[in-house]
Structure 1
Amino acid sequence: MDDEKSVSPNLTTVEVSNLCMSEDALIEQYGADRVRKLLLKVCAPGLGLADEQVDFHLMPALVFLYLISFVDRGTLSNASILGIKTDLHIDTTQYNLLATVFLFTYSFLDIPSNWVLQKIRPNIWIAVLCFVWGVITILSGLVQNYSGAIAARVFLGVAEAGFFPAAVFITSVWYPRKQVQWRVAIFYCMGSLSGSFTGLIAYGVAHMDGRAGLASWRWIFILEGLVTVTFAPFIIWILPNSPSDSKWLSDDEKELLFNICASGGGSPHVPFRKGYLYAAFKDIKVWMVGMMGVGTVLPMYGFSYTLPTILTQLGYTAEQAQLMTVPIYAVSAVTTLVTAWISDRIGRRAPGIMVCFAIAFVGLLTEFLLPKTTAFVHARYGALFLIPIGVYGAYPGQLSWITNNTAGRGKRAMSSALELTMANVSAAIGTNIFLGREAPNYPTGFGFSLATVGLGFVLAGLLWWMLARENARRENLDKVVVNRLSSVEIEEMGDSAPTFRYIL
């Protein structure tokens, strides 16, 4: 039907171009039914309003890419109990460095990668990254000494650094602000599910020890790398670049998506400028969310790298420990999705983030305080569930919060990349805070984790209050003064514009 293929003639492209200030303004001017119908058509699958949806075209590629990227980088923890440390003569200190060097390059290339993303088509850029990190994963299974393993981890960080910030940015380009967290959570929960996948893969590959003269830890790198390399070329065809070159959207739908996407303000036609990086650096919101990211990622990495070891300390064999990680990560994936769905439903980020921080804090504190005796094995195993439920559940909300509240594609790209840089730097710390000599209590590891999670909780509440106060202030501004601002002036002001409202 015609009304399902295009916007009403009264809603012309010229008119839509001036509607980038807020979704509320769009609804007020053109009616909730007309706008809602178009939003559902391009953003919500399974509602019978269109055969082809944005979710159908965009999300499968991002989901699978994030899964294999997390599996490839996380394989080291499984290889550690399958013999890599023995075969390559790696002691505890060297292993910690091996885990950390990946993060050195991975952390500091987020911003350059998002800059490149403004110059190169996303499908090409991500396909190249995927192919390269797949090759490096294969080579990781062929290294013969510690130096070779270090080199492989360094270059794996270089190759993988660009994908996640690109995925977050791409999601914010395609979806309205209050629909972002659910989408980010869908592919991000693959990070927690990857723990289940790597555990199952490692359990199966453990029985390949000696095949073709290769140890089982080598096979896990090789097989996972082959999957990645095989998938990489298909990204060019299956990952859409932007609404403007998508054949399955009408011209009016493309323009509508451009103007009510997650920026909440900011024309997609404005060229990228270096000043966007400076704008991100001087925005206190970016630094506050970045510190929340530290409170999430530091304990996340410390937990993921130490979990197999903690499980063996509970009395499980190395193979059993791999299986016991599966339900822990599977439950955290489900709760991450539930948290995101509720957050998008209520249009708020802070409540979900704070609840998740509280859950993680309880899990960390319980695991630290419980006696390390056989009588408390089941209680300690139960506490291990709470930690990833909290840290994995909080992070999609933080990533969505930063993209929701930075207007303009350029600043949004740089802000999300800066937040990820801060979080990833903390990951390097997280991999080194659970010290082998402090087992089984790990006071340093749990102490750092509890401190950063607590700080994240406080910052989330403080930012919630700050944004609510600023929204109230803008509501009370003199409407005559606001109406004197031209669309160009509002565009240049970005999220400082009096018409912009922050997501709380």
Structure 2
Amino acid sequence: MADTKSDFAPTAAHATRRKADENSITPAPLSSQHIDGHHADQDQETAAYAGGEAIYIDEKTNKKLFWTVNRRILVCMLGTYFCQSLDKGTLGFASIMGIRQDANLHGQQFSWLGTILYMGVLFGEYPTNLLLQKLPVAKYLSVNIFCWGVVIACSAAAENFGSLMAVRFLLGMFESCVQPAFIIMTAMWWRREEQAVLTSLWYCMTGVQLMVGGLIAYGASHYDGAIMKSWQMLFMVLGITTCVWAVFVGWFLPDSPMKAKCFDEDTKRLLIERVRANETGIQNKTYKRHQVIEAVSDPVTWCYVLLQVTSTLIIGGLGVFSNLIISGFGFTVFETQLLNIAQGAITIIIMISAAFTAQRTQQTAFTMHAWSFPAIIGTAIIYSIVPTASNRVGLLIAFYCTQFFLAEGNLVFSLISRNVAGQTKKSTTLTMCFVGWAAGNMTAPQIFQAWDAPRYRTGFTVHFCLYAIFNVILVVMRFLLTRRNKSKRAAVATAGEAETLQQAGEEKIAHSNAFADLTDKENPDFRYVY
């Protein structure tokens, strides 16, 4: 692992001192745009590394830094999200392994097991975002991973509706830290232009867990022991595995570039300077009330919240009921478990293709519009056609088309990580968004009613409405962000403080406020990406 001083020392070969240009980063004093000194507050740990002369990072060094971060940070993020997705999705696998019969579940009780998980997330969201701003991110994350691993293992002993509700609530409460922690880490370690793909990569673990989980569930389905049922063994094995992973994360994952003992001082400085142009900062442990007020009163924040709610109302229901929907097409239990492998592979392709399209075109919102259309078509087919032995493959393909909407979730996350600045504002925005995310997932299973099985036409009718609402909100969000960028450019031009880079058609920005813990609205250098 390239973590040594000789690899990244800022010598003439890699990082040279020069005047600010489009590649260099100038830590100048706060701009003359009359920024409130009370609002500008640089974190002391960050200030120890982000200061002095500008550091020019050439492309070769940048790539080395990028892959160094990936080998350590991304590995932990991918493994953690895989564990979270697999553990959370275990109920879906167990749904056709006998848990409904063994726990005597009837009516809407199975749907409530999907709902209660997100009640736990909802309960844990505010304190977990508050703690993430105050505590070491990696250590806090590893403790929560271990706790939910214990909960999953204990789920094997839950044999009735009440006990299953209890363990599912606790699982949601401990898992509530993952996405907020990842959004903080993504902004901390990667450049803005890299974040859409990086967010999609860890979100792809949803597909990987379907593939791996499908194989594990297929094997567990053949188990017929005297001590425990097949679904109980599944919970036990996955819970213990998650606990082992938690210990590894606590040891291997650094809390921040400043505290990364695996990197030398020169490497830390380069890692921090590398993300200066993000204008979102790295960390700041000071709670700022004015940033809370800005977050709550910002209409763009509410667009993010509504995008989370509408997307998860669709994604959450499809996730919990996917195996029941597919088996309703006429597939056996074993066939349905194996078809999870194909579904997982398709999900990965959908996620990565959406992320690369958004990155290459620099049009995240338009990509989100485009990826919603196959989902609408697939939903229309499932709604309209009665399952028979001759059309079950066609219906399966239509169901796979609905999975295109999964890409919306990770692209919304990438919008938040790239477009919200100010640590307290980001923490508040994340809390609001994940409350919306939890509320959507909490309600989603209730859209699919037991009396509506196996076609769930009422549920898919609701999905049609949600597709329309989602796309309208996306249009509103894009309009607001476009208008803000125009206002910022006009303000800078009026003040005569910016030069334009006519060749590239882009502004040249000094990034002098990058680590001042200003919000995206306060910072004159901040530009929204969408």
Aligned to 1:235, what secondary structure does the other structure show?
A: helix
Matched, 1:94 2:117: no
Q: Give the C-alpha shift of residue 86 in structure 1.
A: 1.1
Counterpart contact for 2:76–2:249, Cα < 8 Å? yes
Partner of 1:354: 369
Partner residue in 2 for 1:303: 318
Give yes or no for contact 1:263–1:406 (8 Å, CA) kept in 2.
Answer: no
Question: Which residue of 2 is the match for residue 17 of structure 1?
Answer: 27
1:8 is matched with which residue: 1, 16, 23? 16
CA contact (8 A) 1:20 1:265 kept: no
Contact 1:294 1:452 in 2 (8 A): no
* More divergent stretch after superposition (289-298 vs 241-250): 241-250
The residue type equivalent to 1:40 in the other structure is K
Contact 1:297 1:426 in 2 (8 A): yes
Contact 2:327 2:336 in 1 (8 A): yes
Structure 1 residues 445 and 492, CA gap change in structure 2 (3 angstroms): same
The separation in 2 between residues aligned to 1:334 and 1:154, in whole angstroms, is: 32
CA contact (8 A) 2:99 2:231 kept: yes
Offset, 1:172: 1.4
Q: What amino acid is the match of 1:495?
A: D
Alpha-carbon distance, 1:103 to partner = 0.9
Letter in 1 for 2:208: L
Residues 272 and 218 of structure 1: CA distance in aligned 2, closer, same or farther (over 3 Å): same
Query: Offset of 1:72 from its aligned partner?
Result: 0.8
Q: Which moved more, 1:91-100 or 1:261-270?
A: 261-270
Equivalent of 1:42 in 45, 65, 82: 65
2:129 pairs with one of 106, 114, 126: 114
Task: Give the 3 Å change call, closer, same or farther, for CA 255–91 of structure 1 in structure 2.
Answer: same
Indicate the SS of the match to 2:491: coil
For normalisation by structure 1, the TM-score amounts to 0.88
Q: 1:228 to 1:489 in 2, by over 3 A?
A: closer
- Size of the alignment, in residue pairs? 486
Match of residue 406 from structure 1: 420
Q: Look up the match of 1:498.
A: 524
- Offset, 1:265: 2.1
- Displacement of 1:157 in angstroms is 1.2
1:278 Cα deviation (Å)?
Answer: 3.0
Distance 1:139 1:478 in 2: 58
8 Å contact kept, 2:153–2:239: yes
Structure 2 counterparts to residues 121-270 of structure 1, below 5 A? 121-210=136-225, 212-249=226-263, 251=265, 253-258=267-272, 261=275, 264-268=278-282, 270=284
Q: 1:234 to 1:207 in 2, by over 3 A?
A: same
2:145–2:242 CA contact under 8 A, matched in 1: yes
Instruction: Return closer, same or farther for 1:230/1:171 CA change in 2, 3 Å cut-off.
Output: same
**CA offset digits 1:404-426 (Å, max 9, x no partner):** 11122332233233212202211
Shift of 1:489: 12
Percent of counterpart pairs with the same letter? 24
Greater Cα offset, 192-201 or 298-307: 192-201
Deviation at 1:145, TM superposition (A): 2.4
Distance 1:267 1:300, change over 3 A: closer
Q: 1:35 to 1:16 in 2, by over 3 A?
A: farther
What SS does structure 2 have at the residue aligned with 1:495? coil
Q: Give 1:120 shift.
A: 1.6
Aligned residues of 1:205 and 1:216 also touching (Cα < 8 A): yes
Residue deviations 1:288-347, cap 9 Å, x none? 122112222111111122121122222111121111222122111122012112322333
2:34 match = none
Deviations 1:261-294 (CA, angstroms, capped at 9, x unpaired):
3883254464331523333222211211221122
- Match status 1:320 vs 2:343: no
TM-score, normalised relative to structure 2: 0.84
Partners of 1:360 and 1:391 within 8 A in 2: yes
1:11 Cα deviation after fit: 7.5
- Distance in 2 separating the partners of 1:222 and 1:284: 45
* Residues 393 and 490 (structure 1), Cα distance of their counterparts in 2 relative to 1, 3 Å cut: closer
Q: More relative contact order in 1 or in 2 (CA 8 Å, sep 6+)?
A: 2
Describe the superposition over 1:72-111 as per-residue Cα deviations: whole angstroms up to 9, x where unpaired.
Answer: 1111121121111111211132111122111101134223
Greater CA deviation, 342-351 or 280-289? Answer: 342-351
Residue 47 (structure 2) aligns with: none
Contact 1:102-1:154 within 8 A present in 2 as well: yes
CA RMSD of aligned residues (A): 3.0
Cα deviation digits, residues 107-142 of structure 1 (max 9, x gap): 342232121112221221111111110111011011
For 2:432, the aligned partner's letter is L
Q: Which residue identity lines up with residue 461 of structure 1 in the other structure?
A: V
Indicate conservation of the 8 Å contact 1:173/1:261, yes or no. Answer: yes
Separation in 2, partners of 1:263, 1:114: 25
Equivalent residues of 1:89, 1:146 under 8 A apart: yes
Within 1, Cα distance between the matches of 2:285 and 2:142? 24
1:60 CA displacement: 0.8
Deviation string for 1:12-46 (max 9, x for gaps)? 9x97434999xxxxxxx979x84545433322x3x
Alignment of 1:282 onto 2:297 = yes
Partners of 2:235 and 2:397 in 1: how far apart?
A: 30
* SS of aligned partner of 2:430: helix
Structure 1 gaps of 5+ residues are 22-28, 46-52
> Is the 8 Å Cα contact of residues 171 and 180 (structure 1) preserved in structure 2?
yes
Please tell me the residue identity of whatever aligns with 1:350: A
2:467 to 453, 464, 467: 453
- Measure how far apart 1:181 and its partner are: 1.2
Is 1:366 equivalent to 2:378 in the alignment?
no
TM-aligned CA deviation for residue 436 of structure 1: 1.7
Indicate how the Cα distance of structure 1 residues 68 and 284 shifts in structure 2: closer, same or farther if over 3 A, else same.
Answer: same
Query: Which deviates further from its counterpart, 390-399 or 407-416?
Result: 407-416
- Residues 407 and 361 (structure 1), Cα distance of their counterparts in 2 relative to 1, 3 Å cut: same
- Counterpart CA distance in 1 for 2:496 and 2:99 is 64
Taking structure 1 as reference, are residues 133 and 265 closer, same or farther at Cα in structure 2, changes over 3 Å only? same
- Output one character per residue of 1:151-205: Cα deviation in whole Å (capped at 9) or x when no partner: 1111111111112211121111111111111111111111132122222111100
Q: Residue 16 of structure 1 contacts residue 256 of structure 1 at CA under 8 Å; is this kept in 2? A: no
Are the aligned partners of 2:124 and 2:174 in contact in 1 as well (CA < 8 Å)?
A: no
Letter in 1 for 2:527: R
Distance of 1:226 and 1:372 partners within structure 2: 40
**Aligned equivalents of 2:414, 2:116: Cα separation in 1:** 28
Following the alignment from structure 1 to structure 2, what is the Cα–Cα distance between the partners of residues 377 and 486?
56
Q: Which moved more, 1:187-196 or 1:337-346?
A: 337-346
- Structure 1 letter corresponding to 2:524: P
Give the residue type in structure 1 aligned to 2:27. Answer: S
Distance 1:379 1:209 in 2: 34
Q: 1:488 to 1:71 in 2, by over 3 A?
A: closer
